[in-house]
A = this chain, B = another copy of it.
Amino acid sequence: MGKTKKDRISQRKETTLNKLKGLGQTIIDDVHEKKIPSLKIPSRGTSNLVYDKDKRYYVLGDRYGKRSLGNVKQIRKIGQMMYVSNFCKNLVQIEKTATLREMYYVSEGWGMSFANQQESNVLAEDLEVTISSSREDLGLMPEEDGASVYGNIILKEGDVEINGLRSGKSGYTISPTIDEVEFIDCDVKRVIAVETMGMFHRMVQEKAHDKFDTIIVGLKGQPARATRRFLKRVNQELKLPVYICNDGDPWGFHIAMVIISGSAKLAHVNHDLATPDAKFLGVTATDIVKYDLPTDNLKEIDVLRLKELLKDPRYKDKIWQLEIKKMLKIGKKAEQQAFSKYGLEYVVDTYFPEKLDAIEN
């Protein structure tokens, strides 16, 4: 399936190492040339966030800040960045990872430690954006688990082959180091991601993987970065359509939208995370009416959030505008599990086939 794992992983690793070495070299060169060493750090402020209509996700604009050893306030920050870069270089070389929390504690030994973890987290982001590598490439891992995956896919982590149909009822858990995972074989037509593990287990029990020839992904709410990377990779590398099936409320909409168009906060890594061709297949205001679903009234905070989404460039499509306005009009929201009103099997036997048919034909 395309490039072999060794190629791809060793290439990512080499690229990252070269970028880290290059960063240090900039400082050394400045010293040799008797210039005051400085670094250019792309700005992550809201004024530098640009929604790229062609790419269909947020990217960073071209504004940047400069940190100079000539500015006494910035000396410490540059020193910290050198330490963090060196720490990451070591991680990549020995093929280990650390959590941001671990790095924060490790920094206690640097004599240039951080006031709190927030400060070291921000510095890790500074480094990501400065050398344009993702945190994961730098060996810095999130704490949280990735999504659960069930279905006819075979993956390889190191020398371990994993069969998505034979990992237990809760499926394969996406590794934080998902870029090191190789897709060995996959014989399905699509990927359906659902918001809750309740719905994931329903799909597995009703054999949705067979019925819809699909991989089932249990997002566990707002998906981890590794999950978003996994969805992008199956979409790009395996050419599979990805459907996001969430609750019918502004939070469900936005969980899907972050998978599709990336988040503003992570504009510098959206090229690795966003899956612009993924489609929302969750509960809409139209579904709420059509299927006469049990609902809850929209709360004030739901209404505010829906109004925000209306103005968000990621929701500019006509269908989103219609559905959001319709939800505001009916004043109701509904969860995906609400289809159980018609029996546990209904969501797989009736609802999903109708939705898939509408979107694919």
Q: How far is the CA of A162 from the CA of B171 in the complex (A)?
A: 11
The reply to whether the CB of A15 lies closer than 8 angstroms to some CB of chain B is: no
- Contact A97–B340 (Cβ < 8 Å): no
Contact assessment for B340 and A198 in the assembled complex, using a CB-CB cutoff below 8 Å: no
Q: Is the CB of A173 within 8 A of B168?
A: yes
A162 and B168 contacting across the interface, CB-CB below 8 Å: yes
Rounded to whole Å, the gap between the CB of A223 and the closest CB of chain B is 14
Closest to A98 in B: B344
Contact: A171 with B173, CB < 8 Å? yes
B168 and A201 contacting across the interface, CB-CB below 8 Å:
no
Q: Complex Cα distance A10/B97, Å?
A: 44
| Whole-angstrom CA separation of A181 from B103 in the bound complex | 38
Q: Name A288-317 residues within 8 Å CB distance of B.
A: 294
A143 pairs with B106, CB closer than 8 A: no
Given that A148-B173, A198-B101 are contacting pairs, would A343 and B106 also be in contact in the complex, using a CB cutoff of 8 Å? Answer: yes
Best-surrounded residue of A168, A175, A341 (most CB of chain B within 10 A): A168
Whether the pair B168, A98 counts as a contact (CB closer than 8 A) is no
Asked if A166 lies at the interface with its beta carbon under 8 angstroms from chain B, I say yes
CA distance A170 to B141 in the complex (A): 13
A172 within 8 A of B: yes
User: Which residues of chain B are near A96, meaning CB under 8 Å?
Assistant: 205, 344
Task: Contact check, A177 vs B169: say whether CB atoms are below 8 A apart.
Answer: yes
Q: Are A97 and B201 in contact (CB-based, < 8 A)?
A: yes
**In-complex Cβ contact of A157 among B99, B168, B176, B201 (8 A):** B168
| Cα A340 to Cα B120 with chains together (Å) | 15
Asked if A168 contacts B160 (CB within 8 A), the reply is yes
In chain B, what residue has the closest Cβ to A105? B340
Q: Which residues of B contact A158 (CB under 8 A)?
A: 169
Q: Which B residues touch A98, using CB under 8 A? A: 202, 340, 344
Q: Is A222 in contact with chain B by the CB < 8 A criterion? A: no
In the assembled complex, the CB of A138 is this many whole angstroms from the nearest CB of chain B, namely 14
Residues of B within 8 A of A342 (CB): 109
A108 at interface, CB cutoff 8 A: yes
Bound form: Cα–Cα A145–B173 in Å: 11
A80 CB–B CB distance under 8 Å: no
Contact across chains for B167 and A167 when beta carbons are under 8 A apart: yes
Q: How far is the CB of A24 from chain B (nearest CB, A)?
A: 22
Smallest beta-carbon distance A203→chain B, Å: 12
Q: Mark A101-143, 1 if CB is under 8 A from B, else 0.
A: 1110110110000000000000000000000000000000101
| Residue pair B143, A197 in contact (C-beta under 8 Å) | yes
| Interchain residue pairs with CB less than 8 A apart (19) | A97-B205, A98-B202, A98-B344, A99-B337, A101-B198, A101-B337, A101-B340, A105-B294, A105-B337, A105-B341, A106-B341, A106-B344, A109-B342, A141-B201, A148-B173, A160-B167, A167-B173, A170-B174, A173-B173
Closest 8 CB pairs of A and B: A105-B340, A170-B173, A99-B198, A102-B340, A169-B175, A108-B341, A143-B198, A160-B166
